[in-house]
Amino acid sequence: MRKKKWVSSFTVFALAAVLIAGCTGNKPQESASPSASPSATSSESPSESPSASPAGPKDGGTLTISTFSDMVSVNPIFINDTASGDLDALIFAKLYDLDRNANLAAEPWSLAAELPQVAADNKTYVIKLKPNAKWSDGQPITAEDVKFTFDTIRNPDVGSPAISTLDKIDTITVKDPQTVEIKLKQVYAPFPYSLYISIVPQHILKDVPAKELKAHKFGVDPAQTVTSGPWKWTEWTQGQHFTIEKDPNYWGEKKPHIDKIVYKIYADQNTEVQALMKGDVQMTEAIPLTQIEAVKKQQNLNVILAPGPQYEYIQFNFKDENFPQKVSPFKSQKTRQAIAYALNRQGMVDNVLKGAGALMNSPFLPKSWADPGDKAVNYAYDPEKAKALLAEDGWKPGKDGILEKDGIRFSFELQYNAGNSRREQVSAIVQQNLKDVGIEVIPKGIDFATWIDQNVTPGKFPAILLGWSLSNPDPDAESIFSSKYFPPAGQNSGWYVNKELDELWVKGQQTVDKTERAKIYHEIGEKISIDLPYVFLYQYGLPQGVDASKVKWAEEDRPESSLAYGYLFHIINWWLE
C-alpha cells in the first residue's frame, strides 16, 4: 500500500490573502494547457537557449533561493516536508532519478549504474551500483548502504514516513559490494518508483538504536551529516537560511557549475516576491497567484507557470452518521453527477488559478500515461442539466428554495483548511454555484492540524475541499479509493465503496506491462468519473520565479513543473552569469 500526501499549503497562502484586494485585475494566463509540452510554460520562454549565452556554462557564483518554510531534517529516512526535500535533492545522490517524463532513470548523478534488472517472475529486482560512488568522508557507497537504508525504513520502530512504500519487499540481499537483489512478496507494478530514493550512510548510522534514529544529529547538524551529492551542507541558521557548497571531492563524472546555494527563509510571501524583484534572491519556488503580474512586469524575471503534480477535489462522505439528519445526501450517483455539472470548474481555473491549472476528470494527472483523456466524463458547467438530474433523482424545492427529499433538506457543510486563500475562494464559488441549483453549502475553514486530526483522518465530515500531492509519479491510488482502506488506518476517508473499482486497483498493481497497465487505469478513470466519489476539480501549479539574467540553463535542463521538486530539475547543469 502506498500512502499519499495531503497538500495543506496553509502557510503558503496565509498572508497572501491579506493583499488580494490590492492586486486584483490580473488578466488570466492563457496557457492553461498541461505541462507535458514545454510550450505550456508561461509567456516568455523560461528557458535560456544555449545560443543566448554563447560563452556556455560558467563555473562559480552563489545562487540564492527563497523558501517559505524552514527545513526540518534532511535525514532521507524522515523527510516529510518540501524544504528538507529540496536540500535532500541537492546533497544526497539518489539510487535512481526521474527523467523529464517521470520515468525511472540511472542518470550520471544516480548511484545505480543502470536500470534495475527485473526477473521473469516480476518479483525480483537486481540493482547494480556505480563502483566509484563515495560519501563526503571518503567511504565508498556500497550495496550495504542500500540494504541498510531499505531495512531501516522498513523497521516499524524507526517510524519512517516512507514505510508504506516498501511494505511489499520480502528480502534484500547484498550479492557483492555493487549488487543488491530485492525480492517482493508479490508482483507490484508501482515498485520501481520506490527506488527513487536517497541512500543513507550505513557506517554512520548502523550503531544507532532504531528508536533513537529520529533524535540523531545526522540530518540536523551540518557537521555530522555525511553527504553523497554534488554539494555538501555547510550551514544552517534556524529560521533564517541554510547553505550548501560544492563538494570538491564529489565522486560523479559530471560536476556542478554553481559554487554555493543559499536557501533564504521568508515568513511572508509578499516580502519573498519583493526580494526576488530587488535581486536579494534569484529564484522563488512559489509566487502567490496575486503577484504574478507584478513579477512579470520586471524584464529580467521569468515566471514558469504550469500545472504541477497536485490536484484538488471535493470529497463526499457516504457514511450517514456524519450528517445532522443521519442520512448522507450523496449516496445517489445522479445527485453527485448533478453537483459536478453545477460547478463552474473552468471558471475556477481561469479566475482563481489565473490559468495555472488544468481541469481534472479522474485521479490521474492530465497528459500522464495513465490519463484516460476523453474516456473520462468531463462535466462541463451546466446548471440546467444539474437541476434536471436533481429533479429526476427526487429532489424538490422546499419553502426556502432549498431542495428537499424524504424530509431531508439538501444542506451540507464543506470543510477546508483555514488560511488557504485558494480554497477559501473556491469554496465560495462552490457555495454560489450550488445555491443556483438549490443546494445549500456552508463553507467552514478549520486549522489544518485540527482538521486532519478531528475530521479527515477519522473520516468525520460531510464534505471536504482538499488536495493530493502526487510526489510519486505512479498512478496507483488504491489506498485512497478502495474500500479496503477505510479510516482511521486507510485514507478512503469518505467511506466510498465500489467493488468493481476495488478489483481494478489491485489489477493495476499486478500488471507490469505498461501498455496493459495503462488500459486498466483508463478504465478506472472512466468508471470513477461516472461514479464520482470525488468531484475532481483541477490540477494546479506553483508558479516558479527566476531571474533569467543570472540563472542559466540549457534547453534540456530547464525546470520541469510536472515533477515534484521539478523546479530543481538538472540543477547540476545550471550555471550563473
Partner 1 sequence: MTEYLIRRLLQSVLVLFLISILTFAIIHAAPGGPTQVFLAPGLSPEAAKVQAHNLGLDQPVPVQYLKWIGGMLQGDLGHTFKNNIPVGDILWPTVKNTIILMASAWILSLIIAIPWGIYNSTREYGFSDHTSNFISYLGFAMPTFWFGIILQQTFALKLDLLPLSDMYDMDKQGDVGNLILHLVLPVTVLSLGFLAGYVKYSRSSMLEVLNQDYVRTARAKGLKERKVVYRHALRNALIPIITILGLDLPILVGGAALTENVFNWPGMGRLFVEMAVAREYSVLMSITLVVSVMVVVGNLLADILYAVVDPRVQYGRKGGAAA
In whole angstroms, the minimum distance from the beta carbon of 295 to partner 1 comes to: 12
Binding flag, residue 80, partner 1 (CB under 8 A): yes
The residue among 34 and 467 lying less far from partner 1, judged by its C-beta, is 467
Binding flag, residue 10, partner 1 (CB under 8 A): yes
In 309-424, where do the E strands start and end? 310-316, 357-359, 396-397, 403-405, 408-409, 411-417
For partner 1, which residue of 488, 500, 510, 577 counts as binding (CB under 8 A)? 488
Binding flag, residue 449, partner 1 (CB under 8 A): yes
In whole angstroms, the minimum distance from the beta carbon of 306 to partner 1 comes to: 25
Q: Which residues pair with 441 in a beta bridge?
A: 412
In 36-145, where do the E strands start and end? 62-67, 97-98, 104-105, 117-118, 124-128
Neighbours of 233 (CB within 10 A): 26
| 153, 163 Cβ separation under 8 angstroms | yes
The residue among 71 and 358 lying less far from partner 1, judged by its C-beta, is 71
Binding flag, residue 61, partner 1 (CB under 8 A): no
| 163, 156 Cβ separation under 8 angstroms | yes
Rounded distance, CA 519 to CA 454, Å?
Answer: 38
Instruction: Give the type of residue at 474.
Output: D
The residue among 426 and 466 lying less far from partner 1, judged by its C-beta, is 466
Give how many residues touch partner 1 by CB under 8 A.
60
Rounded distance, CA 313 to CA 467, Å?
Answer: 6
Binding flag, residue 407, partner 1 (CB under 8 A): no
The residue among 349 and 564 lying less far from partner 1, judged by its C-beta, is 564
In whole angstroms, the minimum distance from the beta carbon of 69 to partner 1 comes to: 8
Rounded distance, CA 428 to CA 469, Å?
Answer: 23
Binding flag, residue 171, partner 1 (CB under 8 A): no
In whole angstroms, the minimum distance from the beta carbon of 149 to partner 1 comes to: 16
The residue among 239 and 248 lying less far from partner 1, judged by its C-beta, is 239
Q: Three-state DSSP class for 140?
A: strand
Nearest to 127 by CA among 72, 81, 191, 195: 195
In whole angstroms, the minimum distance from the beta carbon of 246 to partner 1 comes to: 17
| 545, 276 Cβ separation under 8 angstroms | yes
In whole angstroms, the minimum distance from the beta carbon of 463 to partner 1 comes to: 18
Nearest to 184 by CA among 170, 205, 195, 174: 170
The residue among 448 and 567 lying less far from partner 1, judged by its C-beta, is 448
For partner 1, which residue of 224, 489, 555, 577 counts as binding (CB under 8 A)? 489
Neighbours of 478 (CB within 10 A): 22
> Where does this chain touch partner 1 (CB under 8 A) — which range of 119-127, 332-340, 341-349, 488-496?
488-496
Site mask for partner 1 (CB under 8 A), range 246-285, x = bound: ----------------x-xxxxx-xx--xx-xx-x-----
**At 514, which helix (H) or strand (E)?**
helix 514-531
Rounded distance, CA 484 to CA 499, Å?
Answer: 10
| 231 contact partners, CB below 8 Å, separation of at least 6 | 90, 91, 244, 245, 246, 247, 250, 256, 261
Rounded distance, CA 255 to CA 257, Å?
Answer: 7
| 446 contact partners, CB below 8 Å, separation of at least 6 | 415, 416, 417, 418, 454, 455
Binding flag, residue 351, partner 1 (CB under 8 A): no
Which residue shows C-alpha cell 479566475? 351
Binding flag, residue 3, partner 1 (CB under 8 A): yes
Binding flag, residue 47, partner 1 (CB under 8 A): no
Binding flag, residue 73, partner 1 (CB under 8 A): yes
SS3 per-residue string spanning 175-209: EECCEEEEEECCCCCCHHHHHCCECCCHHHHCCCC
In whole angstroms, the minimum distance from the beta carbon of 245 to partner 1 comes to: 13
For partner 1, which residue of 146, 180, 182, 456 counts as binding (CB under 8 A)? 456
Rounded distance, CA 289 to CA 343, Å?
Answer: 22
Instruction: Give the type of residue at 184.
Output: L
- Distance, C-alpha 546 to centroid of its chain: 21
For partner 1, which residue of 238, 249, 300, 333 counts as binding (CB under 8 A)? 238
Site mask for partner 1 (CB under 8 A), range 296-335, x = bound: ----------------------------------------
Residues between 129 and 168 with contacts to partner 1, criterion CB under 8 A: 156-161, 163-164
The residue among 410 and 496 lying less far from partner 1, judged by its C-beta, is 496
Binding flag, residue 13, partner 1 (CB under 8 A): no
**At 510, which helix (H) or strand (E)?**
helix 499-510
Rounded distance, CA 9 to CA 344, Å?
Answer: 23
Which residue shows C-alpha cell 565508498? 140
How many CA within 13 A on the CB side of residue 366?
23
In whole angstroms, the minimum distance from the beta carbon of 280 to partner 1 comes to: 6
> Where does this chain touch partner 1 (CB under 8 A) — which range of 327-335, 366-374, 446-454, 553-561?
446-454
In whole angstroms, the minimum distance from the beta carbon of 380 to partner 1 comes to: 32
Rounded distance, CA 89 to CA 60, Å?
Answer: 20
In whole angstroms, the minimum distance from the beta carbon of 460 to partner 1 comes to: 12
For partner 1, which residue of 185, 211, 255, 514 counts as binding (CB under 8 A)? 211
Here the cell at position 455 is 475530521
Binding flag, residue 491, partner 1 (CB under 8 A): yes
Binding flag, residue 64, partner 1 (CB under 8 A): yes
The residue among 105 and 210 lying less far from partner 1, judged by its C-beta, is 210
> Where does this chain touch partner 1 (CB under 8 A) — which range of 94-102, 282-290, 423-431, 487-495?
487-495
Residues between 533 and 552 with contacts to partner 1, criterion CB under 8 A: none
Q: Which residues bind partner 1 (CB under 8 A)?
A: 3-6, 10-11, 15, 18-19, 62, 64, 70, 72-73, 80-81, 156-161, 163-164, 211, 214-216, 219-220, 238-241, 262, 264-268, 270-271, 274-275, 277-278, 280, 447-454, 456-457, 488-489, 491
